[in-house]
Amino acid sequence: MKTGAFQRVMFAIYIAIFFLYLLGPLAVMGVSSFNTSQYPQVWPFEGFTLSWFSDLFADQDMMYGLQMSVWIGLLVVAISVPVGLAGAIVMTQIQPRIRSTYYLVVVSPVLTPGIIIGISTVVFWRQFTGVTGTRFLYDGVVLTVLGQASFISAYCMLIILARLQRFDRAQEEAALDLGASYPQVFRHILLPFLKPALFSAGVLAFLSSFENYNTTTFSILADKTLTTVLAGRVRQGSTPAISALAVMIVAATLAGALVYEVVKRRADAAAARRQRAAIAAEETELSGDAGAVLA
């Protein structure tokens, strides 16, 4: 076999192994969710059924955990994105000699193990609420939101910071020279520029919160989320209803990614049309001025 053909064969084998490793578990779970077998399996395929999906919706603990995970995820987004935005803006404004120290401090929660964050969150807020008389805040949902937001905010900051580094400060200076205030510059110039990064940070924050287990298992206290419910169920043995849940989550994630890509492409196309129209108008104005000079 020639060298070129051998390389193509090896590359094809590598790609096949890579996608088998990546998508194989998802394919097995997807097929097992439609198999009538009482145990999650692909072969033998005993018959097609949708009963595992109806069993999933009838499972009160699973539905309650799902609702709590969604609710906690939305609260984490509401905290993490503004905190990440503020951290990114401060990063670009502080003096360069302390920037590396500031960066190390704000990113350190990402490097901390989740179980440490969960335990420290419970210990700190138990002491804090006891001393301040705000014991009503010592709640599983509140602690989980605070614990998750403490490190998910760093993820959001990194995403927003990457976008912010491409921002042209001359736009801000031009707006300020024309009489705009700092809040107006922030609202009408900076926020529209950061909108894609803010959306990406919000999606990442929600997904990170939704699938988090290490921190949640300590901070949720007597309450429960979807991940803690699933962990308890798996210890007792997996069922095809869990496969059905995985199929629904993967389908929802793919649908969200597809919608985001469509919206992004339409926005890019609209921006390109506006840019072409501006260039055409500028060229028309220049040719008109040239004609007037020649006349």
pLDDT at 41: 80
Q: Show me where the domains of the chain are located.
A: 12-58, 59-240
Question: Around Cβ 128, how many Cβ atoms within 10 Å?
Answer: 12
Residue 74 confidence (pLDDT):
96
pTM here is 0.81
pLDDT of residue 290: 65
CATH (residue range 59-240): 1.10.3720.10
What DSSP element (H or E) covers 58?
A: helix 51-58
pLDDT score for 155: 94
Are 118 and 216 spatial neighbours (Cβ–Cβ below 8 Å)?
yes
Tens digit of pLDDT per residue, the chain (295 long)? 667 788 899 999 999 999 999 888 888 888 888 888 888 888 788 888 889 998 888 989 889 999 999 999 999 999 999 999 999 999 988 888 888 899 989 888 888 898 899 999 999 999 999 898 888 888 899 999 999 999 999 999 999 999 998 888 888 888 888 888 888 989 988 998 898 899 889 989 999 999 899 899 999 888 889 899 888 887 777 788 888 888 888 898 889 888 888 887 887 888 788 888 888 887 777 777 666 666 6
Provide the pLDDT for residue 295.
Answer: 63
User: Which pLDDT does position 294 carry in this prediction?
Assistant: 61
Note every long-range contact of 51-57, with CB atoms under 8 Å and residues 24 or more positions apart, other chains counting.
Answer: 52/239, 52/240, 52/241, 52/243, 52/244, 53/244, 53/248, 55/241, 55/244, 56/241, 56/244, 56/245, 56/248
Q: So what's the pLDDT on residue 231? A: 86
Residue 147 confidence (pLDDT): 93
Q: What is the pLDDT of residue 254?
A: 87
Cis peptide bond upstream of 44, omega within 30: yes
pLDDT at res. 68: 94
Distance CA 118, CA 212 (A): 11
Residues 6+ positions from 20 with CB-CB distance below 8 Å: none
Task: List C-alpha distances in Å: 176 to 91, 171, 247.
Answer: 21, 9, 51
